[in-house]
Amino acid sequence: MKKIIIYLRYLPILFFYPLFKKNERLIMDVNRWQKGNESLNSKIAILLFTYREFRNLFIYRNNKHKIFTCWVKLWYPPEKTLYIVTSDIGGGLYIQHGFATYISAEKIGENCWVNQQVTIGYNGTGKCPVIGNNCMITCGAKVLGEIKIGDNTIVGANAVVIKDYKRGYGVLAGVPAKPVKEASDERLRELGVLE
């Protein structure tokens, strides 16, 4: 009986496999979450069985296929306190311990990392933040308002970011958040960030 249930849970993955091949961002997510030599649909099945946070991301990536997402939610219940309401998220998003997390940004770049109890969203009026590539937003951090966070930025635990940090390549900490560690101008020139 247990094997029958496992095969039934695996059916939506096999049935909708052609959709995954077209979704490059989902493939980047899967590869970031699961290393190994398994096929794409095997990796997706393993992640859906194992991580509720991945289920939320998987449903987000496939939200235009309503019947499919309802089927996925039935067999793989998502994390109830993780909300993803961002219009544009680059591939490779990793959500670690997505408990009590709200992600609402104008845009999130590729290969970002979000921890638990993070809030990315509005600060009363205006728009949501824009977050660059390869950023890490650690537990309890808040990134609020119409601001921009540059590439390769780490937002420290419980930091509250309410001002732009376009430079990138730094660590933000405190309330309100300020850079506590930054790459030198020389290093940024080497990387091609500064002229």
Residue-wise pLDDT for 100-151, tens only, equals: 999 999 999 999 999 999 999 999 878 999 999 999 999 999 999 999 999 9
Q: How far apart are CA 143 and CA 149, in angstroms?
A: 9
Establish how many alpha carbons lie within 13 A of residue 58's alpha carbon, considering only the half-sphere containing its beta carbon.
Answer: 34
Mean pLDDT confidence for 31-58: 82
30, pLDDT greater than 70: yes
Percent of the chain with pLDDT over 90: 53
- The pLDDT of residue 101 is 97
6, pLDDT greater than 70: no
- The pLDDT of residue 149 is 96
Q: Which residue has the higher pLDDT, 152 or 44?
A: 152
**pTM given for the model:** 0.86
- The pLDDT of residue 15 is 62
- The pLDDT of residue 10 is 67
103 closest CA partner among 122, 116, 84, 117: 84
Cis peptide before 176 (omega within 30 of 0): yes
Q: Are 122 and 142 in contact (CB under 8 A)?
A: no
